[in-house]
Structure 1
Amino acid sequence: MRALVFQGAWDIGVEERPDPRPRPGEVLLEIVATGICGSDVHGYTGENGRRHPGQVMGHETVGRVAELGEGVSGPRAGTLVTVNPLVACGDCPACAADAQQSCPRRRVIGVAADISAAFAELMTAPAANVVPLPDTMPVEYGALVEPLAVGQHAARRGQVGPDDRVLVIGGGPIGQACVLAAQRCGAGKVLVSEPAGRRRTLNETLGALTANPTAADLPTACAELLGGPATVVLDAVGASATLADAFAASAFGARVVLVGMHEPRLDLSAYAISTEERTLIGSFCYSAADFRETAAWVAEAPAELAALIDGRVDMDGAAETFRRLGRGESEASKVLVFPHGLEAAR
């Protein structure tokens, strides 16, 4: 098979790899499309240190079942599926509580270096992590399930409800997922803080209000556009500066959800948490239930999803796309790689 192989910082390209075979309990998939995640780009540039030479990355994917491993009864060959890349042990207290994201033995397909993942023509996955999708939906939407599930979990962690004034910091793919999730949780008004004009426009098509934090005072924007300081902040960037913005623009007692991971260490105001009784909440990935429910929503092909994919390349164009994304030369928000060619998008 052909696969996109990471060989070190700023070095990725197409190579021939042996076709994988499904082991007992696994499913072999023919990949249709895989989204380039911000974490993939940061791995490619060497920023996050979470990708390793020789690795085949990719965790936002959609494909079709090609073969079932021993002991697997379905889904049948040809079925359209997406893959929950979070592989948990299934035996610990967290797994028993349907909190697989907190499993101490969790592994993530596309992050774990020894798992050949979805930037390839073929990949294997545990049958339990394969989620069927209907052929009635646009096939490429299946690659959106994973990032949308991240937003869904973050909104749930923040207990977003109809009475909340919601601020989303960062208008990229995870910020967009947070907007849609907050709306699904009943939030009437969602404000997105995003410096890039193209991303602000995209979020506006999703029904969000927007503000440019480099040109406007964010607390003032919240007061004017939300009717008061935010009661929930979903920080989809995860930097010291954005966390400071979250505190400045939120009400006393607000819930601040940290879902972005731009910086591994953060400086924060302890007083903004303690004396104003805010709650700082971590959010990582999603539970299996979050993923399945998001997949069911995507399967309905809601109109909002049409705006989320703004780039498509085949395998041979992927290396240049990674380079442009890494250097900030591309304004694309979500680019999908089609290992078998762009005709697979139809």
Structure 2
Amino acid sequence: MQALVLEDFGRLTISTVDDPIVGSEDVEVRVIATGICGSDVHGFTGENGRRVRGQVMGHETVGVVHSIGADVERSDLALGTLVTVNPVILPPEDIQTYAGREQHDPWKRVLGVAPELIAAFAERIVVPARNVVVLPESMPVLYGALIEPLAVAVNAVRRVDAGPGDAVIVLGGGPIGQSIVLALQMAGVKKILVTEVMDSRRALLERLNVIVVDPREESVPDAAERIFGRHADVALDAVGLSETLNDALSATRLGGRVCLVGMGSPTLTLDAFRISTAERSIVGSFTYSNDDFRAAAEWMSGAPAAAAELISHSVGMDGAHDAFTGLAAGDGTAGKIMVVLDADRV
């Protein structure tokens, strides 16, 4: 089969790889499309150390069931069923221990991160049947590849217990920040402020019916005071730099909650007194539980109109290298780029 292989940092090639082997409790999925995640871009450049040469990346995916292992007992799965895949794969012996907090299993493997797994920038992938989530045929197919980043956002919003009465700031309006906006709206949050420096992303976010400011033109605390009339209750940092985390701390009230989602830098410098003396809390958020993923899938299955705004455009496998190169160079793409592997289904 064909796959996009990270031949070297900065170079993706369409290569022939071995067909996947389907175990008795596995499902083989024929990939329709896979979204390009920011972590994939960082892997492409080699800057985050979380991808390796020769790897097949990709974890935000939608496809159809291609084959089913002999011991799979799921009546909802049949050949051709539209599905997405939860990329967080646990050893069978850990499933009960980590139920409800699957992301905390130290032995988990993440499809698209673990280099030994052929991931979703390949024509077919194999995953345990328990990681396959069925989608309705009525939903726009590409929405299925938006479920994984929305699950990231659902977990982040739940980590800080954001709800209808909260005033919330999202720092960074890229694809994860955009998904966080949708997750906040899912949670009933009405007062949302997003900071974003890119013009095209600010325009996209405004179409999601939130207030957006350029932090180069107005400080984040000043923007919070102007828009909310006070500091925010909650801030979610979708960038992950010292500057954005310190903005999150300075723009939240005493006792406020801050979630670090973005992975812009492995090392951050922050004002510790804004945590200790102000009793603010900082929590991290990385992936999600099975419940988070299924909540995201259920919401996206309703084909919300806002989801269309998150997809900027699609490319085929032959356009993937240029798409990655453009994203790595900061080409101004506002939302998600989808790599389509089966154009007949889109």
Query: Which band: TM-score by shorter chain?
Result: over 0.9
In 1: Cα distance, 2:281 partner to 2:49 partner: 29
Residue of 238, 241, 249 corresponding to 2:240: 238
Distance 1:31 1:265, change over 3 A: same
Match of 1:146 in 2: 148
Residue 193 (structure 1) shift: 0.5
User: Residue 167 of structure 1 aligns to a residue in which SS?
Assistant: strand
Alignment partner of 1:301 is 2:340: no
User: Residue 236 of structure 2 aligns to a residue in which SS?
Assistant: strand
Distance 1:117 1:93, change over 3 A: closer
Residue of 89, 92, 108 corresponding to 2:91: 89
Q: Is the 8 A contact 1:7 1:52 kept in 2?
A: no
Alignment partner of 1:312 is 2:319: no
Q: Is the 8 A contact 2:174 2:334 kept in 1?
A: no
Match of 1:11 in 2: 11
Which sections of structure 2, spanning at least 5 residues, go unmatched? none
In 1: Cα distance, 2:288 partner to 2:92 partner: 15
Number of residue-to-residue matches in the alignment: 344
Match of 2:116 in 1: 114
Residue of 279, 285, 288 corresponding to 1:286: 288
Distance 1:94 1:198, change over 3 A: farther
Alignment partner of 1:29 is 2:16: no
Match of 1:73 in 2: 73
Instruction: Please show how residues 180-259 of structure 1 align to structure 2 within 5 Å.
Output: 180-259=182-261
Residue 254 (structure 1) shift: 0.5
- 1:2 aligned partner, one-letter code: Q
Residue 70 (structure 1) shift: 2.4
Q: Is the 8 A contact 1:94 1:100 kept in 2?
A: no
Residue 93 (structure 1) shift: 8.7
In 2: Cα distance, 1:283 partner to 1:113 partner: 22
- 1:35 aligned partner, one-letter code: G
In 2: Cα distance, 1:135 partner to 1:159 partner: 33
In 1: Cα distance, 2:200 partner to 2:338 partner: 18
Match of 2:277 in 1: 275
Distance 1:94 1:104, change over 3 A: farther
Residue of 133, 153, 157 corresponding to 1:131: 133
Which sections of structure 1, spanning at least 5 residues, go unmatched? none
User: Residue 91 of structure 2 aligns to a residue in which SS?
Assistant: coil
Residue 330 (structure 1) shift: 4.3
Q: Is the 8 A contact 1:28 1:124 kept in 2?
A: yes
Residue 227 (structure 1) shift: 2.3
User: Residue 323 of structure 2 aligns to a residue in which SS?
Assistant: helix
Alignment partner of 1:344 is 2:313: no
In 1: Cα distance, 2:7 partner to 2:271 partner: 39
Instruction: Please show how residues 151-162 of structure 1 align to structure 2 within 5 Å.
Output: 151-162=153-164
Distance 1:18 1:92, change over 3 A: closer
Residue 272 (structure 1) shift: 0.5
In 1: Cα distance, 2:149 partner to 2:254 partner: 30
Distance 1:96 1:323, change over 3 A: closer
Deviations 1:204-237 (A, max 9, x none): 1111111100111211111111221111001111
- 2:298 aligned partner, one-letter code: A
Q: Is the 8 A contact 1:311 1:332 kept in 2?
A: no
TM-score (norm 2): 0.97
User: Residue 308 of structure 2 aligns to a residue in which SS?
Assistant: helix
In 2: Cα distance, 1:94 partner to 1:205 partner: 42
Provide the identity percentage: 49
Match of 2:43 in 1: 43
In 1: Cα distance, 2:140 partner to 2:95 partner: 37
Q: Is the 8 A contact 1:315 1:340 kept in 2?
A: no
